[in-house]
Amino acid sequence: MFGFLKEKLKNAVKSISERFEKKEDEIKKFEEAKKEIEQKIEAVEEKPVEKVLEEVRPIIEEKAPEMKEEVEKAVEEVKEEVKAEVKRIEKPKEKKSFFKKVTEKIIKKVTEKKLSDEDLEPILKELESGLIEADVAYEVVKKIKNDLKKSLVDREIKRGKEKDIIINALKKSLLEILSVPEINLEELIKKARSENRPTILLFFGFNGSGKTTSIAKIARWLIDRNYTVALAAADTWRKAAIEQLEEHGKKLGVTTIKHKYGADPAAIVYDGVEHCKSKGINVLLGDTAGRTHVNKNLIDELKKIIRVNKPDLKILVMDSLVGNDAVQQSQIFNNAVGIDAVMFTKNDVNPRGGAILSVSYLLKKPILFLGIGQNHSDIVEFNSSKFVEQLLHE
C-alpha cells in the first residue's frame, strides 16, 4: 500500500542525506588545512592583519577549493572585527591569542555540518512535485516543506545521524498533519448501551466509493468484537442497492431493514432504530444513496435522515483513488451535512495515499478505517503512528 508516496518520501530523505554527506566531504578536506592554518597563526608576531589573512586564504584554496566561497565570506565577516581588536592589543602574545580565536571562528564557520536554504531548496522543490503527484494537497505539501526547513536549515548534525534526523523531522511533520480529535467507536457504543438505545452509524459518499461494501466490513468488525448489528437499506435510489446490502446481511447473519424503492430513507433508518430497540441490538448501520453536491434533492434527503434520526456518527466513505478530488468531495459533504469521521476504500490498489494526509489535515476529522480488499475481513483501524511508520520505514 501507498508505495508511490513512500517512494517520494524515501527519495527526499536520501537527497537531503546526500547533501549532508557532501558537506562532510568538504569538512574532511578542510580538516587537512586546519593544522597548517594554525601553524601560520602561531607564527604571527607583528604582521598586519591583512597579511595574515592573505597567508591563510591560499592554504584553504589549495586544500579545499570547493569551499573557497565559504572561506571568502568568513574572512570578510571577521576582517573588520580583527582590525578593531588589533588596535586594542598591545602585547604580541595577546595579538597571537586573538588571531587564534579568529582562526577558530573561520574554521567553525566553514566546517559546521549545516544545510542552508540554498542547499535544501532544490530538494524541497523535487519533494513538492513528488507529493503533489502522490495526491497530497498543496497546503499539506507547503506545511511539510516549511517543517523540514525549520528542522534542518542551519542545524548542526552529528556525523552518522543525518538520516535519523531527517526521518524524525518528516515523521514529526506527518504526525502533526494527522493530529485530529480521535473517536473511540467502542466507547460510543458503550455510552449508547448505558442509555438503552442503539448506536446509529450513518454512511454517505459519492457514487462508486464502495460505501455498501464498507458498511458490511464495519459490521463484520463489530460482530468480531461481540456487538450485535442490524443494517438499514436507506439507499432507495440506486437500482439493486437494497438487494446488495441485503446479500451482505445474509452472509453476515444480520437483519436488513428495508422498504420499497422510492420510499422515504429517513423512515427506513427510523424503523431500523426501532427494530434495534425492540431486539436489544447494539448498532444500526445505515446505508444511503450515493450523491453529489449538484443533486440538491438527494442532499436535502440526507439532511432529513440526519434530522429525524440524529445519528451518533456521520461517516463519509471515500474512494482513495479519487486523488486530489478527495479534498473537494469531503468539503462538499462537510459543508452540507457535517462529517464526524472518514473511511477510505481501495487502499490495497492505491500506491499514492496522499488523499489520507490531505483530508485529515484540511478537514480536521478522524479517519476511522481503511478498506484493503474485497472480503468482509479486509478492513483495518486507522492508526496515524503506524501509517507514518509504514510510509517512512517499510
Please give the pLDDT value at position 392: 83
- The answer to whether residue 8 is domain-embedded is no
Residues 235 and 105 in one domain: no
Locate 192 and state its grid cell: 449508547
Please give the pLDDT value at position 276: 97
Please give the pLDDT value at position 63: 62
Please give the pLDDT value at position 154: 79
CA atoms of 94 and 91, how far apart (whole Å): 5
Tell me the chain's radius of gyration from C-alpha atoms: 32
Residues 201 and 80 in one domain: no
CA atoms of 216 and 246, how far apart (whole Å): 10
Q: Do strands 255-257 and 313-319 pair parallel, antiparallel, or not at all (unpaired)?
A: unpaired
- The answer to whether residue 80 is domain-embedded is yes
Locate 367 and state its grid cell: 479517519
CA atoms of 181 and 341, how far apart (whole Å): 10
Residues 208 and 348 in one domain: yes
pLDDT one-digit tens code per residue, 174-184: 999 999 989 99
Question: Which domain covers residue 102, as residue numbers?
Answer: 25-111
Residues 241 and 344 in one domain: yes
Q: What type of residue is 240?
A: A
Residues 81 and 226 in one domain: no
Domain boundary among 111, 132, 152: 111
Please give the pLDDT value at position 93: 46
Residues 218 and 318 in one domain: yes
Residues 245 and 361 in one domain: yes
- The answer to whether residue 298 is domain-embedded is yes
CA atoms of 354 and 6, how far apart (whole Å): 10
Strand partners, 153: 115
pTM: 0.76
- The answer to whether residue 244 is domain-embedded is yes
- The answer to whether residue 125 is domain-embedded is no
- Residues in the chain with pLDDT < 50? 89-99
- The answer to whether residue 305 is domain-embedded is yes
**What is the CATH classification number for the domain harbouring 294?**
3.40.50.300
How many other C-beta atoms can be found within 10 angstroms of the C-beta atom of residue 35?
10
- The answer to whether residue 295 is domain-embedded is yes
- Nearest in space to 341 (alpha carbons), one of 378, 320, 368: 368
Q: Which residues contact 33 (CB under 8 A, 6 or more apart)?
A: 59, 60, 62, 63, 64
Please give the pLDDT value at position 328: 84
3-state SS of the chain?
CCHHHHHHHHHHHHHHHHHHHHHHHHHHHHHHHHHHHHHHHHCCCCCCHHHHHHHHHHHHHHHCHHHHHHHHHHHHHHHHHHHHHHHHCCCHHHHHHHHHHHHHHHHHHHHCCCECHHHHHHHHHHHHHHHHHCCCCHHHHHHHHHHHHHHHECCCCCCCCHHHHHHHHHHHHHHHHCCCCCCCHHHHHHHHHHCCCCEEEEEECCCCCCHHHHHHHHHHHHHCCCCCEEEEEECCCCCCHHHHHHHHHHHHCCEEECCCCCCCHHHHHHHHHHHHHHHCCCEEEEEECCCCCCCHHHHHHHHHHHHHHCCCEEEEEEEHHHCCHHHHHHHHHHHHHCCCEEEEECHHHCCCCHHHHHHHHHHCCCEEEEECCCCCCCEEECCHHHHHHHHHHC
CA atoms of 166 and 262, how far apart (whole Å): 56
Residues 196 and 295 in one domain: yes
Domain boundary among 111, 141, 172: 111
CA atoms of 286 and 284, how far apart (whole Å): 6
- Nearest in space to 37 (alpha carbons), one of 55, 61, 18, 64: 55
Domain boundary among 111, 133, 163: 111
Counting the structural domains of the chain, the total is: 2
Residues 105 and 201 in one domain: no
- The answer to whether residue 10 is domain-embedded is no
Please give the pLDDT value at position 17: 76
Residues 235 and 378 in one domain: yes
pLDDT one-digit tens code per residue, 182-237: 999 999 999 999 999 999 999 998 888 889 999 999 999 999 999 999 999 999 88
CA atoms of 299 and 333, how far apart (whole Å): 9
